[in-house]
Structure 1
Amino acid sequence: MSLSKLSNSILTKRQTSSILLQWVNQQQNYYNNSKYFQSSISKNINNNICNIQKSSYCTSTVTTSTINSTTINNIFKQDDNLKTNNNTENDDVENTNPIEYRDPLKHNMVNIKSKSYKEIYDDFKWDIPKHFNIGGEICDKHVENGNDLYNESNKLANALKELGIKKGDRVGVLLSQGFETAVSHCAILKYGGITIPLFTLFGPEALEYRLSNAEASCVLTDSDNLPKLKKILPLLPNLKKIIVFNQDKDEQTTTSTKKKGSRKSSLNFFEDEYLNISCIEYWNEIKSKYSSEFKTVNTKSDDPALIIFTSGTTGNPKGCLHAHRVLIGHLPGVQLPQNLFPQQDRKLLFYTPADWAWIGGLIDVLFPSLFYGVPVLAHRAQKFDPIKIASLMERHSVTTCFLPPTSIKMMRQSKLPTNHKIASIGSGGESLGDQLLEWGKETFGTTINEFYGQTEANLIVGNCSAIMDVKPGSMGRPIPGHKVDIIDENGNTLPTGSIGNIALKKPDPVIFLRYWKNEKATKKKYINDWLVTGDLGKKDSDGYIWYSSRDDDLINSSGYRIGPGEIEHCLLRHKAVALSGVIGVPDEIRGEIVKAYIVLKPGVEPTEELKLEIQNFVKTQLAAHEYPRLIEFIESLPMTTTGKIMRKDLREKHQKDHGTKTK
């Protein structure tokens, strides 16, 4: 299906999905082979695509406006006279002449299929320019329909400036997948602010914790999420501005006649109650009043760009402060697990059910897609429904996916019928195991490439079935440009096969700057020059990394160090098991024993005979000391919003139910 047909099919069906098409060249200025970096693209770059065929972000009447596009040239002639003073302190960056752009892997990824992983890894060298802006300008052509990202992000950036938001101020983005979410992030970053992605399914307490911790001065949200903010305003003394994208279908502006419409404002409840907070409706008070021209604020590669909070699997969420260089650092980790993305021999459409408030949705999908000009499918879903999501992917001919492990497990459980073949699927967060990999291959016609990382430093290990063997159960090999190894508690690298801390060597562009307002936790994250992930694993003789467990999830039984992941994978191979979570519980003789919480498949009766059958099954598959001596059937497992098993909650449940304290 062509992009035009794809877009039209989505628009005419009036779904709660939208296409962010071809934010072309926007981030191609992130990386170049010249000595200096310019944070704005020239207004006269030739062959820019701005093939915009977007729906309004609302969910009712939808209109489009189209500009014919031509094929983009990735490489432009470099102006020999192009100079930039690396020490400049100017706040604004003027438009510059065209420069030559280079792929971050220093290779044309489409043409390296004959190269081995080793050749790519050995050849890789970072070249991060000092001046680097994640929110650089896009191009000079645009569509006058209000959905052009270039215009709207510039208008919003101008509004932020006039509202008194300063460079370095923290701005929350409480929006689900959609065009306005991309507009918001780009406007904040162009202006030099620090963006805080926020999950729309968070309740007031979770939002208050993050906004208060980050000392946010402004929030961009929609009318659906505004009531949650109202509840916590007295607890947010730093919050002074709220900008609202109204999503009411009855208040939509129709743009087919290119008339500037207006939208009603439903924000009057703020006027008397909180006089020191300005609440501004975007479509009435920003869209029509601010210029679509904006000079991008000069930011450097190490300047703060965003705060993403951890999922809180081991305690209170911590705000990870990342620099503008974070996108460049992530690109190789997107290209390889997505089988040499972006493949230029086919039309691409990228999708993830992971919310764009998480690093997996924002940095692994949205930003890289915008960098390469690849369309992104945005879908507002309140709850993951495997049948509906599979249908959505097939209906819109999705070619490229990031699917969290929990999503894949739920799809497998649902026995979804699909003939939809996908070019590449990446997955990370929890190990899949051979059973899920086999199912994915049969269902989608491609090998799911597992990758590994965390909010503090993501996409540092991964698989690429296009150029290397995939070993089921392994997270893959270190991504080119990243030094990943297994170390002990003193920072010494361990021999092949030894279990230790998975660690990343500094300096590295994906490593976060620090935990926001938490110097103690930041220091604990490092051993010498190694960032310690907190995950245990081992490396085999081929350089593949194998995940064992979180260091605090490790089970010590009779002197054996047991990781729960391997047992969980084994349990999934049993015909009755849908999901499982494994923990260690106290035992007077062995110190700890293995306990498994198991979710059974539909129709399976939870009996004592079944427990014994499962125990014997694990005994025949793993070492004798690894089988679960205790099994408890449970209706559902506690999961983070990113799909990770919250084993600390399982430990707390065991303690509450049995009165025995776990670690």
Structure 2
Amino acid sequence: MSQTHNMVDYDKTYAEFKWEVPEYYNFARDVLDKWAEDPEKLAIWWVDDNDHEVKKTFAELCQRSRQLCNVLAGQGVKQGDVVVVIMPRLIEWWEINIACLRMGAVISPGTTQLTPKDLKYRFDSAEAVCIITDTDSAPKVDEVRSDCPTVKSFILVGDKREGWTNYEDAVSSASDQFETVNTHSNDNAILYFTSGTTGYPKMTVHTHTSYPIGHMVTGKYWLDLGPDDLHWNLSDTGWAKAAWSSLFGPWSCGAALFVHHTYRFDVQKTLTNLEKYPVTTMCGPPTAYRMFVLEDLSKYSFKSLRHVVAAGEPLNPEIIETWEEHTGLKIRDGYGQTESVCMVGSFPCLEVRAGSMGKPSPGFVVEVIGDDGNIVPRGKEGDIAVKVKPVRPVGLFKEYWKNPDKTASSYRDDWYITGDRAIKDEDGYLWFVGRADDVILASGYRIGPFEVESALIEHPAVAESAVVSSPDEVRGEVVKAFIILAPGYNASDDLVKELQDYVKKVTAPYKYPRKIEFVDSLPKTISGKIRRIELREREWVAFKK
């Protein structure tokens, strides 16, 4: 299956690109209602683990969103108020997003794995007035609701529960007449809680124009979508990647979403769905692809699939090679943050350089800079930075809400500092090195964990690995690898030695892991990124005792 790519000449597109940002903009009115003018145009193709299917058109979702606007308004939710949404991949999640955008309420999504304590922190910090959740999470809310004075509205998707408004009853009986709020370009639209390396999560705010319009770059150029595509994003609804790939990116291009509602990632079920349904494009975390290539991919045929991307952390070259060998498709990397849209990508017209995240997105000047704020020479490591003066790119967050110091500390001269480190090569490709705080310093060497993880995963015994610094009396710190073994391999001292020798061969010998621990699982964020900080802290806490 082929289509003319949206970007055929990177240099030309990048040079000619111009942002167009109106003073007033509302994604529900200006994009979704336009697609809804065709009553048949598909927006969502939803399936669950039992192969139960539901299809929703843009027209249906837009009508339901107007009904929900009236329900929320009736419960006292006003423009600018924060609505917390904790929901698995249920169709209501999309209705709620559209409704909040339409009425100018600020949506704050969260993962279903949040604890009652997490929820209280979010309600209080954001001064949330409304919580919309499902049957599984409602009891957690009830545990803390008496201590959360700002929350006045409790809406439940699913069962009936005392003290909660039933979503379906309320929405289906509400009027579908609602005039979309004419939101200003600088009005707050989305509030994410993003975990840093220290302290509680920060509140990252995006506006009504910057984020939805910025994601046109994500959808059009990186995801390479058009109105005839069916796009599948494997990510959970609780984090920013859902906005990238399950909302603004695809829908700004008129693509339909394929949604698999499941509570656990099942590799074989995912591959079966990819074969069974006419999915044309897919976005997944690197962890998913690592699991895919452990399966016998020759058993599957993905007839409709034409384009796949990964984001969250760099992908190892051998994963890209194995996937391409069986599917004929290259996995294209993309880079951005909760604070941004897709800022760097391996766009369809670019050569894939395995391990590189590609080149800056149209509309973004992304460089590698030093502590002095100057661009470092090509091939030298530094901070990934985005030029914000004289022109701030569309798609970058407005601020860390209620935290002006943290907001201010994210800038150095004319640059926004991402907190990630990279190298830019002679051809302008960016190569991720690691978080500024993940780099391991051993015997005077700087070692990026990703390099060691990349080496390890080439060994057939390794399904997944995470590399962190571990305390050492002599060297200060050394490289330690936590390894999940591939099926058919067992932990042993001999295997430890074999893996160490292997890394010495594959990469610079000083990078080899002096310590190896075999584990059954690795701590991860909801987006599938390995939480190296958690592993690192375990190592150092034990040492300090």
With normalisation by structure 2, the TM-score equals 0.90
| CA–CA distance in structure 2, aligned partners of residues 222 and 583 of structure 1 | 37
2:267–2:291 contact (8 Å) kept in structure 1: yes
Task: Label 1:161 to 1:154 Cα distance change in 2 as closer, same or farther (>3 A).
Answer: same
Give CA-to-partner distance per residue, 1:70-112, whole Å, 9 cap, x none: xxxxxxxxxxxxxxxxxxxxxxxxxxxxxxxxxxxxxxx9476
Match of 1:460 in 2: 343
Residue identity in the other structure for 1:531: Y
Gaps of 5+ in 2: 41-55
Distance 2:540 2:194 in 1: 25
Query: Any conservation in 1 of the 2:284–2:310 contact (CA below 8 Å)?
Result: yes
Q: Specify the SS of the correspondent of 2:504.
A: helix
| 1:498 is the counterpart of 2:498 | no
What is the deviation of 1:157?
Answer: 1.0
Please name the residue that 1:644 is paired with.
529
Larger CA deviation: 305-314 vs 572-581: 305-314
Matching residue of 1:433: 316
Say whether residues 1:560 and 2:472 are aligned partners. Answer: no
Q: Which amino acid aligns with 2:317?
A: D
**Structure 1 residue aligned with 2:371, among 464, 476, 489?**
489
C-alpha spacing 1:427/1:111, structure 2 compared with 1 (3 Å): closer
Structure 2 counterpart of 1:226, one-letter code: A
The match for 2:468 is: 583
1:419 aligns with 2:338: no
Q: Secondary structure at the match of 2:18?
A: coil
Instruction: Say if 2:355 is the partner of 1:470.
Output: no
Deviations 1:41-76 (A, max 9, x none): xxxxxxxxxxxxxxxxxxxxxxxxxxxxxxxxxxxx
CA distance in 1, matches of 2:425, 2:215: 24
Q: Secondary structure at the match of 2:27?
A: coil
Q: CA contact under 8 A between 1:419 and 1:443: conserved in structure 2?
A: no
In structure 2, the residue matched to 1:294 is 178
AA of the residue aligned to 2:62:
Y
Which runs of no fewer than 5 residues in structure 1 stay unpaired?
2-108, 249-265, 271-278
The 3 A distance-change label for structure 1 pair 140 and 625 is closer
Residue 354 (str. 1) matches residue 235 (str. 2) = yes
Amino acid at match of 1:482: F
In structure 2, how many angstroms separate the alpha carbons of the residues matched to 1:357 and 1:590? Answer: 40
What is the distance in 2 between the residues matched to 1:319 and 1:134? 22
* Deviation (angstroms), 1:142: 5.1
SS at the partner of 1:148?
A: helix
Name the residue aligned to 1:183: 95
**Matched position secondary structure for 2:28:** coil
SS in 2 for 1:135: helix
Q: CA deviation at 1:333?
A: 2.6
Matches within 5 A, 1:399-410: 399-410=280-291
> How far did 1:318 drift?
1.7
Q: Do 1:142 and 1:150's aligned partners in 2 also have CA atoms closer than 8 Å?
A: no
Given that residues 404 and 642 in structure 1 are in contact (C-alpha distance below 8 angstroms), is that contact kept between their aligned partners in structure 2?
yes
| Among candidates 153, 161, 173, match of residue 73 of structure 2 | 161
Q: Secondary structure at the match of 2:344?
A: strand
2 CA distance for matches of 1:395 and 1:208?
42
Distance 1:280 1:584 in 2: 49
Equivalent residue, structure 1, for 2:45: none
Work out whether residues 351 and 398 of structure 1, in 8 Å CA contact, stay in contact via their aligned partners in 2: yes
Partners of 1:156 and 1:534 in 2: CA distance: 39
Code of the residue aligned with 1:294 in structure 2: it is F
Instruction: Provide the secondary structure at the position in 2 that maps to 1:493.
Output: coil
CA contact (8 A) 1:311 1:640 kept: no
What is aligned with 2:485? 600
* CA RMSD of superposed structures (Å): 2.2
Q: Is the 8 A contact 1:326 1:509 kept in 2?
A: yes
CA contact (8 A) 1:356 1:366 kept: no
Pick from 157, 177, 193 the counterpart of residue 105 of structure 2: 193
Deviations 1:427-449 (A, max 9, x none): 11111111110122123331111
Higher share in strand: 2
Deviation readout 1:174-204 (Å, 9 max, x if unpaired): 2222321111111111111100112123232
How much does 1:590 deviate? 2.9
CA distance in 2, matches of 1:313, 1:642: 16
Q: Relative to 1, partners in 2 of residues 1:315 and 1:621: Cα closer, same or farther, differing over 3 Å?
A: farther
Q: Which amino acid aligns with 2:482?
A: Y
Match of 1:317 in 2: 201
1:209 maps to 2:121? yes
Does structure 1 residue 618 correspond to structure 2 residue 518?
no
Q: Give the total of aligned pairs.
A: 518
- In the alignment, the residues of structure 2 paired with residue 226 and residue 122 of structure 1 have an alpha-carbon distance, to the nearest angstrom, of 50
CA contact under 8 A between 1:314 and 1:648: conserved in structure 2? no
Deviation at 1:315, TM superposition (A): 4.5
**1:296 and 1:490 mapped to 2: Cα distance?**
46
CA positional deviation for 1:503? 0.9
Which one has the bigger helix percentage? 2
CA distance in 2, matches of 1:585, 1:511: 35
TM-score by length of 1: 0.75
d(CA) in 2 for partners of 1:132, 1:560: 50
Is the Cα–Cα contact under 8 Å of residues 217 and 249 in structure 2 kept in the other structure? no
